[in-house]
Structure formats: C-alpha cells, structure tokens
Amino acid sequence: MLFHIAIYAVLFFVLPLYYRSHPGTMEDLGRIVMLLVMICPAAIFILSGELGYRAGFLPLAALLPVLLFTLSVLTVFEGQVTGFVYSAAYGVISLAGNAIGSFFRKRRRK
C-alpha cells in the first residue's frame, strides 16, 4: 500500500508542480492535460487492479486516489472546481480497476 501512495504522490503532486514551474508555453498546458486525462487514469486503473488482485475488493483502499487527488486540487491546482470532476472520475476508475482485479483473483483461486 505504501508503494501505491508513493506513486500517487508523484502523479498528483510532484509532476504537476514540476510542469507548473515552467509556465508560459502551450506545451506545458498540453503536458498537464495529458497527465490528467491519460497518464493518471491509466496508472490508477493498473494500481487499483493490482491491489484488487493481490488483496481482494477493498473499496476504501480503492478510494485512496480520490483523497490524494482532492488534496492535490486544493494545494497544487489552487482549488479549481474542474479538478473535483477529475477526482470523481478517478474514484470510478479506481473502483472499477479494484473490482476487475478482485474478479481475476477469484477466478485464479477456483
């Protein structure tokens, strides 16, 4: 679980802060959008699926990305309302990944 927290911290805090420290170009905006729309959801799905496969369906643990990204929205993204939409989407993606991982865990045991 500590590994998941470390990966989420890098995705939600370190990379956005790094990208925001180089303002002024559209390329940086494109990187942030790519991070929010492509990289974070894929990483959340994979990590949640791995957690579900390893430990079974854990809804509270699957909601860890929601909590961490909400903190990121409040601190890194300065409380922008659109960030909360991503929080909800990441929660759904995380729960789906955890459920799919749990499904494969049950199939493996039979």
Q: What is the pLDDT of residues 80-95, one digit of tens each?
A: 888 889 999 999 999 9
> Is position 16 within any domain?
no
User: How many domains are there within the chain?
Assistant: 1
Closest CA to 76 of 36, 45, 110: 36
- The Cα angle at residue 17 between residues 4 and 50, in degrees rounded to 5: 15
- In whole angstroms, what is the distance from residue 72 CA to residue 19 CA? 14
> Is position 20 within any domain?
no
- The Cα angle at residue 110 between residues 50 and 1, in degrees rounded to 5: 20
Range of the domain at 35: 2-10+27-109
pLDDT for res 32: 80
> Is position 47 within any domain?
yes
Q: pLDDT (tens digit, 9 = 90+) per residue, 21-49?
A: 776 654 567 878 888 899 999 999 999 99
- In whole angstroms, what is the distance from residue 110 CA to residue 106 CA? 7
Closest CA to 85 of 102, 69, 106: 69
> Is position 15 within any domain?
no
- In whole angstroms, what is the distance from residue 11 CA to residue 5 CA? 10
